[in-house]
Structure 1
Amino acid sequence: MLRSVMARLASRLRSSSLLRVGLAVVALGFLGYGVARRWGETVAALGLLSWGSVAGALVAVLGGMGFLLVAWQVILAGLGSRLPLRVAARVLYVGQLGKYVPGAVWAFAAMIELAREHGSPPRRTFSATVLGLATSLGCALAVAAVTLPLASGEVARRAWYLLALVPVIVVGLHPRVLTFGLNLVLRVARKEPLDRVVPGAAMVVAGVWSLLGWVCYGVQLWVLLADVVPETAGYGLPYLFVVAAGAYALAWATGILTVVVPAGLGVREGAMVLALAPVVDTPRALVIAIVSRLVFTLGDVLWAGLGFLLARTVPAPVPAQGASSVST
């Protein structure tokens, strides 16, 4: 059903340039609304942090997004569609602006249509995006599973149900398992099955790039956290990084699993405050959560703008790769 809805949306986006522009405007409108709705508390939060720490957090976020872009590009190439990095940036991050629109299908539909313009069949783009999200979620939960017990046993116990998903995701990312699952979804939607299995090596490489991205995201929160924790508290920087990495991983995983809220709005912040409780009080944790949300929003906009500008230099669409069949 979801796959069918996305196909119809992608078809309409392809046939109407006005609809594509309208979707972009709506996405930016929701994004702006989310920022404006919290503008007062955002300004207050920024006033409690140094601009150097905010800038450092933004750089870390941009780096993390770059690593996750490469991970998605590797998965898509494994499925048979090799997009240049600048085109992949346009498809992923311009399309991802759709996540700010209520509903789970807008970003998928936009990415499917953008990738189709460069020769990637919808089934590959859809599958690569699902696999990229699952890989990122697995890495996030793995980071949380390693760091939360070191940061706070209480937080780890309260988040046990999320951490229990780690082995499930690892099994699900096995090439044979994930190909079976994706083909089942495509079959239910009466679409052509995948014409190849993602090589295991490609999934490993994508996992490494994703993990590097999550290290950057941990650095992002670490920089902000170190700016609000007083030196007299006696926490060492390594411990603060463990807390920060686990807090953001838990917050993002909680937000992404709450699909009814655009981009995990509000849910992510609540989980982050809980995970930061061992080192900062609630008001300071809220400051970090608010600024972190702003930094990621800026990162989304900057990467979308960069992807749009870079893709304009591509002289012609990249044709889809040949459909060589690989036995499952």
Structure 2
Amino acid sequence: MNSKAATKRTPRDLAMRALRVLLLLLALAFCAYSLVSQWDETVRAFEEMSWPTLAGALAAGLAALFAHMLGWRAFLTGLGSPLPIKAAFRIQSISQLGKYVPGKVWALVTQVELARTYHVPRIRSFSATLLAVATSSACGLAMAAATLPLTSDEARDRYWWLFLLAPVMVASLHPRIVTWCLDTALRLVRRPPLEHPVSLSATLRAVGWTVLGWVLFGVHTWLLCMAVGGDGPGLPFLATGAFTLAFVAGFLVFIAPGGIGAREAVLLVVLNPVLPAGTAIVVAIGSRVVLTVADLLNAGAATLIGRSTPRPESDESDGTDGNEPGGQELVPGTEPTKERS
């Protein structure tokens, strides 16, 4: 292939690249604002915690984010577009900065467009991301429903209606239900059905990685609770349930960037009765800052990986979205499949 043709960019490609850069700059600006706006509270919170504890919470947070990335990658593989771990990490880490921009669509838009640079059709990356979000929410609610009613009366009394959603959401992850929902949505927008129905094995792998991620987020929260004087044999379970419930609640608040405000409010409700007076807010703020730093570190590492990783031969598309008959998938390891009857 001619090298000039391989590097040729259409006006649409240049526009999408400019949009990704703009979203990245906006995300960094909102990250900076979220840190600066709570600077005094953050300093006071960190003064009550040791640096080894903060480092441990950061390590657990980084590991949790990596596990959730592997869950998204499992869905993408199951849909027919396997990606190397480095590529999946780069896409996920950079796109996740979009969650700091008000609204919940920017991370999704960025993730879909970044995946295109690895020749992942938009339909597949969009579907994998929706499945990952649904799985994360369902598993998070299920873990909160399993841990908090036994350890937190406040959470049980205030958020009982969310707990009722847990079994419904978990049941809705069955591959037949997922495939039917995705195919119905594609039919409504006049697109062909998925080439690769979501398999049970892909779903189980994604659920496994997602649950591991929530457990690691629980470790992150538990370390911060221990640092401010929390104790007791039920604290690890309470910390895990508190974080998963807070994260899901933050996600449901559409306009809040990164769930800011909503996540902290839920953590206060759940943790206030079991931590020394005035320390629950320290945990909430400490968690917010530590995980923001984790997102920034991941995005920085992903940028460096992008510089050292050879780009695909061409970013140009053949005009298909991966679902049309005859569409050819260019992701390494993916084979074309026959159209479903």
TM-score with structure 2 length normalisation? 0.87
Q: Please say if residues 64 and 213 of structure 1, whose CA atoms lie closer than 8 Å, have aligned partners that are also in contact.
A: yes
Matches of 2:210 and 2:160, distance apart in 1: 22
* Deviation beyond 4 Å, 4+ runs, structure 1: 11-14, 325-328
**Pairwise CA RMSD of aligned residues?**
1.9
Aligned to 2:254: 259
Q: How big is the shift at 1:12?
A: 5.6
Q: Are residue 296 (structure 1) and residue 309 (structure 2) matched?
A: no
Give me the whole-angstrom Cα distance separating, in 1, the residues matched to 2:179 and 2:107.
22
The equivalent position to 2:274 in structure 1, one of 276, 279, 284, is 279
Distance 1:327 1:161, change over 3 A: farther
Letter in 1 for 2:90: R
The match for 1:43 is: 43
The corresponding residue for 1:246 is 241
1:119 aligned partner, one-letter code: H
- Corresponding residue for residue 17 of structure 1: 17
Q: Provide the residue aligned with 2:211 in structure 1.
A: 211
Q: Cα 1:102–1:189, aligned 2, differ >3 Å: closer, same or farther?
A: farther
Unmatched 5+ residue regions in structure 1?
A: 1-10
Asked if 1:311 corresponds to 2:306, the answer is yes
Note if contact 1:147-1:242 (Cα within 8 Å) is conserved in structure 2.
yes
Equivalent residue letter for 1:324: T
How has the CA–CA distance of structure 1 residues 32 and 196 changed in structure 2, closer, same or farther, with 3 Å as cutoff? Answer: same
Q: 1:325 to 1:99 in 2, by over 3 A?
A: farther
Preserved CA contact (<8 Å) 2:139 2:170? no
Q: State which structure, 1 or 2, has the greater radius of gyration over its C-alpha atoms.
A: 2
Shift of 1:282: 5.5
Deviation (angstroms), 1:168:
1.4
Equivalent in the alignment of 2:196: 196
The separation in 1 between residues aligned to 2:14 and 2:106, in whole angstroms, is 14
Q: Number of aligned pairs?
A: 313
Against the structure 1 CA distance between its residues 195 and 72, is the aligned structure 2 distance closer, same or farther, given a 3 Å change threshold?
same
* 1:322 and 2:335 matched: yes
Q: Structure 1 length normalisation: TM-score?
A: 0.90
2:183–2:193 Cα contact (<8 Å) kept: yes
Could you list the runs of 5+ residues in structure 2 that have no partner in the other structure?
1-10, 314-329
Partner of 1:59: 59
How far is 1:20 from its partner?
2.4
8 Å Cα contact 1:196/1:323 also seen in 2:
no
Q: Secondary structure at the match of 2:119?
A: coil
Look up the SS of the partner of 1:283 in the other structure: coil
CA distance in 2, matches of 1:139, 1:65: 15
Aligned equivalents of 1:91, 1:60: Cα separation in 2: 21
Cα offset, 1:171, TM superposition:
2.0
1:222 maps to amino acid: W
Helix, strand or coil at the partner of 2:337: coil
Q: 1:215 to 1:14 in 2, by over 3 A?
A: farther
Q: CA deviation at 1:323?
A: 4.1
Which has a greater percent of helix? 1
